[in-house]
Amino acid sequence: MKMVFRWFGEGNDSVSLKHIGQIPGVEGVVWALHDVPVGEEWPMDKISEVKKQANKHDLHIDVVESVNVHEDIKLGLPTRDLYIENYKKTIEKLAKVGVKVICYNFMPVFDWLRTDLFKELEDGSTALFYEGSKIKDIDPMELVKKIGEDSELTMPGWEPERLSHLAKLFDAYKDVTTEDLWDNLKYFLDEIIPVAEKHDIKMGIHPDDPPYPVFGLPRIIINRENIQRFLSLVDNPYNGLTLCSGSLGANPNNDIGAMVREFADRIAFAHIRNVRVYENGDFIETSHRTQDGTVDIYDIVKAYHENDFKGYVRPDHGRHIWDEKCRPGYGLNDRALGIMYMWGIWDSLERQK
């Protein structure tokens, strides 16, 4: 596995490239141009600048997360073709600097959803938390306001320009069924995958987080069956997965280790993190250690090892520990601990071979 670490860019992250380079076994950053509005073509000079910055610290920029998909594409509006053209041009440009994987998602409106970004755990650390009953009662606008107030920095997927038209967006999705969303995804893939293949970039779709419908919006990348369906929409190795153990793991019926074993050759990028799911379905993001959550991280790493996984891996999120001031879920400390846990499992399996 190739270990990488998400970095939000110069002046946009509490973690420095120097610190990332000091985590054992980390070879690259997972990045994006977070200031380019969704749907626009990424400017080449800004792409090259990130490469220069990362390379200075001996880190590569092979993995981009995310090139976000414009809502008009997900909605299947006539304007989607314009945004798909922009997407293709961005793929071409990313290929020029050696990018190998693009992560994206196909979730309507919200990229991911939590009700509390700093929920306290028993040991005094805090973590991202999802409380189902709150989602049932809260108006989506209120939640957006709360998330905005809780975080000093803009959270990925919660960009103001995307959410300022929230009421209009919800209205636009009113008549979009789950099957419509599948159709719109297929339309997008039919256009994008040949371009990705030509430029040797693997597209890795991120599962929906949480893996069930929220606020009445359809969700499709949620379980084994739907992932099978997704992969067969365009049966091409460049149509791949970002298999996120934390997102899928929020539904305890998802056996992530089994998914890794089944889909290994289509996984371009692995997000590895644990969650503790409570009996009522609420969940909190815990440390990576298997015993600390509901997801069997040991079995997942073992499954990747069994398949001699050569793709990219990142610790998805971490808790906020040791009083670190950081983006919610994206501190240095707990993610670095997660990496060492993964290496511990991997290296011991390697030695036993």
Residues in the site for Mn ion, rule: CB under 5 A?
244, 271, 316
DSSP letter string, 260-281? HHHHGGGEEEEEE--EEE-TTS
Minimal CB distance residue for Mn ion:
244
206 is catalytic: yes
Among candidate residues 296, 317, 334, 341, the one labeled active-site is 317
Element (H, E) at 178: helix 178-198
The span from the CA of 273 to the CA of 296, in Å, is 10
Tokens 């644990």, located at residue? 274
Least separation in angstroms between CB 172 and Mn ion: 26
Least separation in angstroms between CB 240 and Mn ion: 15
Among candidate residues 83, 312, 330, 341, the one labeled active-site is 330
SS3 307: coil
Least separation in angstroms between CB 242 and Mn ion: 7
The span from the CA of 285 to the CA of 115, in Å, is 12
Among candidate residues 87, 173, 208, 271, the one labeled active-site is 271
The span from the CA of 209 to the CA of 248, in Å, is 7
> By C-beta, is 97 or 241 nearer to Mn ion?
241
CA torsion through residues 142, 145, 149, 150, sign: positive
> By C-beta, is 38 or 248 nearer to Mn ion?
248
What's the start-to-end Cα distance of the chain, in Å? 16
Torsion of Cα atoms, 108 then 110 then 114 then 118, to 10°: 160
> By C-beta, is 126 or 242 nearer to Mn ion?
242
Question: To 5 degrees, how large is the angle CA 293–CA 298–CA 302?
Answer: 150
> By C-beta, is 84 or 250 nearer to Mn ion?
250
Least separation in angstroms between CB 328 and Mn ion: 14
316 is catalytic: yes
DSSP letter string, 199-259? TT-EEEEEPPSSSS-BTTB---S-SHHHHHHHHHHT-STTEEEEEEHHHHHTSTT--HHHH
The span from the CA of 105 to the CA of 137, in Å, is 26
Q: Is 159 exposed, middle or buried (0-12, 13-18, 19+ CB in 10 A)?
A: middle
Least separation in angstroms between CB 273 and Mn ion: 7
Among candidate residues 244, 288, 305, 326, the one labeled active-site is 244
Among candidate residues 206, 288, 305, 320, the one labeled active-site is 206
> By C-beta, is 162 or 314 nearer to Mn ion?
314
> By C-beta, is 244 or 250 nearer to Mn ion?
244
> By C-beta, is 271 or 319 nearer to Mn ion?
271
271 is catalytic: yes
Least separation in angstroms between CB 287 and Mn ion: 16
Q: For 12-68, what is the HEC assignment?
A: CCCCCHHHHHCCCCEEEEEECCCCCCCCCCCCHHHHHHHHHHHHHCCCEEEEEECCC
330 is catalytic: yes
Least separation in angstroms between CB 282 and Mn ion: 19
How many CB atoms lie under 10 A from the CB of residue 177? 10
Active site residues: 206, 244, 271, 316-317, 330
